[in-house]
């Protein structure tokens, strides 16, 4: 009986070792908390938001009033365009919100052309300063 018990334990241990080595690791791994499809979808959404914000800012600076304001301070549109592409997502979102607000206030008649010009110059200057600080 003692030999039978030992052989049973040996068979059990060998079968456990064999199954541990033969089973694929993928079967034993747990499911990830966030799936790759979710990560991909979030990355695409973030890229779309960034592109929308860039479009809002560039549209704001490409308006006739903005071009006049930029020319009055010798700031070429190309430099503004380059600076916008270098902004981080948070800064880009803040600047896009400001540009939307200014455009809405101007369209509603709350701002004069002179006020709009000053705001455009201030936003452009802030944009360039952000880029200079980020480059250091």
In a domain? residue 56: yes
Let me know: does 113 contact 121? Beta carbons within 8 Å. Answer: no
Each of the 136 residues of the chain gets a pLDDT tens digit; together they read: 556 667 777 777 777 766 666 655 555 555 667 788 888 999 999 999 999 999 999 998 888 888 888 888 888 888 888 888 888 899 899 989 988 888 888 777 777 878 888 888 888 888 888 777 776 6
In a domain? residue 74: yes
In a domain? residue 73: yes
State the residue range of the domain holding 56.
Answer: 47-136
In a domain? residue 27: no
Let me know: does 65 contact 117? Beta carbons within 8 Å. Answer: yes
- Please name the residue ranges forming H helices in the chain: 2-22, 25-28, 36-61, 64-72, 77-86, 89-107, 113-135
In a domain? residue 40: no
CA distance linking residue 120 with residue 57, whole number of Å: 11
In a domain? residue 21: no
* Overall number of domains in the chain: 1
């Amino acid at each position: 009986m003692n030999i039978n018990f030992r052989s049973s334990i040996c068979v059990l241990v060998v079968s456990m070792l064999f199954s541990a080595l033969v089973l694929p690791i993928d079967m034993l791994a747990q499911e990830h908390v966030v799936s790759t499809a979710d990560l991909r979808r979030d990355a695409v959404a973030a890229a779309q938001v960034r592109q929308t914000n860039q479009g809002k800012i560039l549209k704001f600076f490409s308006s006739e009033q903005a071009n006049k304001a930029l020319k009055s301070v010798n700031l070429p549109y190309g430099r503004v365009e380059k600076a916008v592409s270098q902004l981080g997502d948070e800064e880009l979102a803040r600047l896009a919100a400001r540009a939307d607000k200014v455009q809405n206030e101007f369209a509603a008649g709350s701002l004069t052309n002179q006020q709009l010009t000053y705001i455009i110059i201030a936003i452009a200057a802030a944009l360039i300063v952000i880029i200079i600080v980020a480059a250091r």
